[in-house]
Amino acid sequence: MSSEQISSLFQLMLEHLPPTLKLFGFTLLYAIPLGMIVALLKMCRIKPVSWLTNLYILIMRGTPLLLQIIVVYYSVPILKLSPNCPEGLRGILDKVDIQSGGYMFRMILIAFVLNYAAYFSEIFRGGIESIPKGQYEAAGALGFNKLQTFFRIILPQVVKRVIPASSNEIITLVKDTSLAYAMGYMEIMYIAKKQMSFYSSLVPLFMAGLFYFAFATLLTLLFAFIEKKLNYYK
Amino acid sequence: MSMLEIRNLSKSFGSLEVLKDISFDVKKGEVVAVIGPSGSGKSTLLRCINQLEHADSGVIKVCGTDMLIKNGSGKTVYADKKTLRDIRLKTGLVFQNFNLFPHMTVKRNITEAPVCVLKKDKTEASKKADELLKKMGLETKGDSYPCELSGGQQQRVSIARALALNPEVLFFDEPTSALDPELTGEILKVIKELAKEGMTMVIVTHEMAFARDVADKVIFMEGGYIVEAGAPEQLFGENASDRVKQFLQRFNS
């Protein structure tokens, strides 16, 4: 490939970076709070709630993300056509416009959020359970109520403890966004594959790899910085 | 006036009875030391009074307020949530392992509860924290984090933290058991100072000499029972029961 071709290829990839970033950002935005809620539900003393949450986590972690994306994506059109679909559900599904431009992104995002919330929840649960019982007892003896204890005493300590495991998960997400390519979502992988065929060259794939690599490395540095910042106490 | 009244308090963990028919009073300004072998129920007793364990039966009255009572049908019940919380604020608890909040500075450890729980003004709470730190000989440590302090310093911070809520009774659960002998001395000195100021205290301890010097009353527990209770002169004297003598002998040898 000529240097002009490479330069225009780079330009093209840069133009397709925002969809990748959008999927990455929105997944984190929803999956992290949802993961915290799922973690608390799994630790819930009401057994059925804990079991159901555990079943959800088992399914999300036990099946491929790609399969989940495909299931979520096609669930709406297939259920709409199914004669067995309950009327109540059909009413809701009919409101979903599968022709609209945002439909694809929303469905992919739902699959990513559900999957990543399950992984985050296990990280958060581990973090919460690693806080010594004495912290709760000290807070209780000082008159803090449950909400104050969680948000002022427990959560800040959990954040520090879950940063290393979470950063691992977040870096995996950078690369997992490429799975959206399978649904025709126009992110970096999608354009790389297309340009590969167009030029009959591996350079576009190599370049896509560099994009992911740079992004992941940037995050690695960022998390190393955050970890260092949070090292003011042990 | 009685700051603490306990009658027939019992508590089991499953089939294991850890507290059996415990009764005693603590008067205002009194210092009570609870001694006895490990597993005798001393800590559980303190934890029941501080609502960290659920007692099975009996009566507990703190500062004249009913905490655990027998209701009309003879069932043992706790007071309502608000009363329980009010009681918590009248009592302070110092733990064996300090349990300071590691993510907060020393000063924040002390001011957090007054500001969040008592809704005190921040500057006022900060002033009070400075006073308490000075009293504990830690006036230069306000901005440090607990992990930067020695065990003895951490325990003094945790005493300051408990005092910041102006408790009427202060409980100590083996406050020196996690400390080496040198650091133990500094904590015992602080507790002696508080005793001089008239603070009402209940101290679970293995420091026999300290119990004898500071306490107005000593309670010896074993197997969930109070075996003997009385003035230190009595328990540490010739007329103590054989079991108490036998227990104390090991400390004197």
pLDDT digit string, tens, across residues A178-216: 999 999 899 999 999 999 999 999 999 999 999 999 999
What residues of chain A lie within 8 A of the CB of B85, using their CB? 143, 145
Whichever domain contains A218, its CATH number is 1.10.3720.10
pLDDT value of residue B252: 67
pLDDT at B229 > cutoff 90: yes
The burial of B58, by beta-carbon neighbours within 10 Å (0-12 exposed, 13-18 middle, 19 or more buried), is given as buried
- A181: number of Cβ within 10 Å: 20
B103-152: pLDDT as tens digits = 999 999 999 999 999 999 999 999 999 999 999 999 999 999 999 999 99
Residue B126 distance to chain A (closest CA, Å): 17
Query: CB–CB of A134 and B146 under 8 A?
Result: no
Order across the sheet with B76-78: list the strands. Answer: B16-27, B2-13, B57-62, B65-70, B76-78
Query: CB–CB of B88 and A232 under 8 A?
Result: no
Angle at B54 between CA B60 and CA B40, to 5 degrees: 80
pLDDT at B232 > cutoff 80: yes
pLDDT value of residue A102: 86
Interface confidence (ipTM) of the complex: 0.92
- B180: number of Cβ within 10 Å: 11
What residues of chain B lie within 8 A of the CB of A140, using their CB? 51-52, 88
pLDDT at B32 > cutoff 70: yes
What residues of chain A lie within 8 A of the CB of B101, using their CB? 135, 138-139, 153
pLDDT at B81 > cutoff 70: yes
Residue B72 distance to chain A (closest CA, Å): 29
Domain spans, chain B: 2-252
Chain A residues whose C-beta is within 8 A of a chain B C-beta are 132, 134-135, 137-145, 148, 152-153, 156-157, 160, 232-234
Query: CB–CB of B117 and A135 under 8 A?
Result: no
pLDDT value of residue A233: 85
pLDDT at B176 > cutoff 70: yes
What residues of chain B lie within 8 A of the CB of A229, using their CB? none
Region of A195 (left: φ > 0; alpha: ψ -120 to 50; beta: rest) is alpha
**What per-residue string of b and e applies to B98-129 under the rule 16 or more CB within 10 Å gives b?**
bbbbbbbbbbbbbbbbbbbbeebeeeebbebb
Q: Whole-angstrom Cα distance, residue B4 to residue B1? A: 9
β-pairing verdict for B169-173 and B91-94: parallel
Query: CB–CB of B165 and A143 under 8 A?
Result: yes
Query: CB–CB of B89 and A143 under 8 A?
Result: yes
Query: CB–CB of A134 and B97 under 8 A?
Result: yes
Closest CB to A232: pick one of B51, B101, B145. Answer: B145
Residue B85 distance to chain A (closest CA, Å): 6
Q: Whole-angstrom Cα distance, residue B94 to residue B105? A: 18
The range of the structural domain enclosing residue A220 comes to 3-232
pLDDT at B253 > cutoff 60: no
Q: Which of A221, A126, A204 is nearest to A165 (CA)?
A: A126
The share of chain B scoring above pLDDT 90, in percent, equals 82
A69-101: pLDDT as tens digits = 999 999 888 888 888 878 888 888 888 888 777
Residue A137 distance to chain B (closest CA, Å): 7
Q: Which of B44, B36, B174 is nearest to B99 (CA)?
A: B174
Q: Scanning every residue of chain B, which has its alpha carbon at the shortest distance from the alpha carbon of A148? A: B116
Report yes or no: A143 and B89 within 8 Å, Cβ to Cβ.
yes
pLDDT value of residue B159: 96
Residue B202 pairs in a beta bridge with B32, B171
Going by pLDDT thresholds of 50, 70 and 90, the confidence category of residue B47 is very high
Chain B residues whose C-beta is within 8 A of a chain A C-beta are 50-52, 85, 88-89, 91-93, 95, 97, 99-103, 112-113, 116-118, 145-147, 158, 161-162, 165
pLDDT at B1 > cutoff 90: no
What residues of chain A lie within 8 A of the CB of B102, using their CB? 157, 233-234
Closest CB to B165: pick one of A140, A142, A153. Answer: A142
Fold of the domain built from segment(s) B2-252: Rossmann fold (3.40.50)
